[in-house]
């Protein structure tokens, strides 16, 4: 478990240094290094609705949240701050979720090779045992270099 100072730095990195995460209102709420798990929250925002008749968030918002959460879990899995890029991402929508509610996403990076990191993730309202969307993603790991997150982490 990262100590609170670490969590603060990570929180700043994922929100303050990533304009779109900030625009969506994403917050890193929990992070562990082993297992490499990140939990992010997305507050409900009427601007992110896909169908104004029902008030459900658009699927693309859930994809963005899952992508950001997956990326966060890869940073936690890497021993040194390293730039990463999403290679592919699949999202399954198990159900519509609940209109007007915020969403939590939990991602675990379960394997890192020299070039690629592998991640699984869930999106839910109350409990990870009751997900309404699931994701699998792979990320390319760049050669270590200067990045915003690296700088934020003192790299």
Partner 1 sequence: MSIVAAIERARATRDFNAFVGEVPYARFLGITVEERDGLLYGRMKFADHLVGNPTLPALHGGTLAALLELAAQFELIYRAETIVLPKTVTITVDYLRSAKARDTFVRANIVRQGRRVTAVHAQAWQDDESKPVARASANMLILGKT
Q: Which residues bind partner 1 (CB under 8 A)?
A: 17-24, 46-53, 57-61, 63-65, 67-68, 85-93, 96, 146-148
Q: Which is nearer to partner 1, 22 or 125 (CB)?
A: 22
Q: Which is nearer to partner 1, 124 or 139 (CB)?
A: 139
The minimum distance between CB 90 and partner 1, in angstroms, equals 4
The minimum distance between CB 25 and partner 1, in angstroms, equals 11
DSSP lists the bridge partners of residue 111 as 118
| DSSP 8-state class, residue 83 | -
Q: Which is nearer to partner 1, 2 or 59 (CB)?
A: 59
| Contacts made by residues 14-17, CB under 8 angstroms, sequence distance 24+ | 14/40, 14/68, 14/72, 17/148, 17/149, 17/152
Q: Which is nearer to partner 1, 3 or 88 (CB)?
A: 88
End-to-end CA distance of the chain: 20
DSSP per residue over 14-47, as a string? HHTT-HHHHHHT-EEEEEETTTEEEEEEE---GG
The minimum distance between CB 85 and partner 1, in angstroms, equals 7
The minimum distance between CB 130 and partner 1, in angstroms, equals 18
């Amino acid at each position: 478990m990262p100590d609170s100072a670490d969590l603060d730095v990570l929180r700043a990195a994922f929100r303050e240094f990533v304009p779109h995460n900030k625009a969506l209102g994403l917050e890193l709420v929990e992070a562990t290094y082993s297992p490499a798990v990140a939990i992010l929250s997305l507050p409900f925002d009427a601007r992110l609705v896909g169908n104004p008749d029902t008030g459900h968030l658009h699927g693309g918002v859930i994809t963005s949240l899952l992508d950001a959460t997956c990326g966060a879990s890869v940073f936690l899995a890497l021993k040194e701050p390293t730039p990463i890029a999403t290679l592919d991402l699949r999202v399954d929508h198990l159900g519509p979720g609940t209109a007007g509610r915020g969403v939590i996403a939990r991602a675990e990076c379960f394997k890192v090779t020299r070039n690629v990191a592998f991640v699984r993730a869930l999106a839910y309202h109350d409990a990870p045992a009751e997900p309404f969307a699931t994701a699998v993603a792979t990320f390319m790991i760049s050669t270590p270099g200067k990045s915003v997150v690296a700088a934020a982490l003192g790299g």
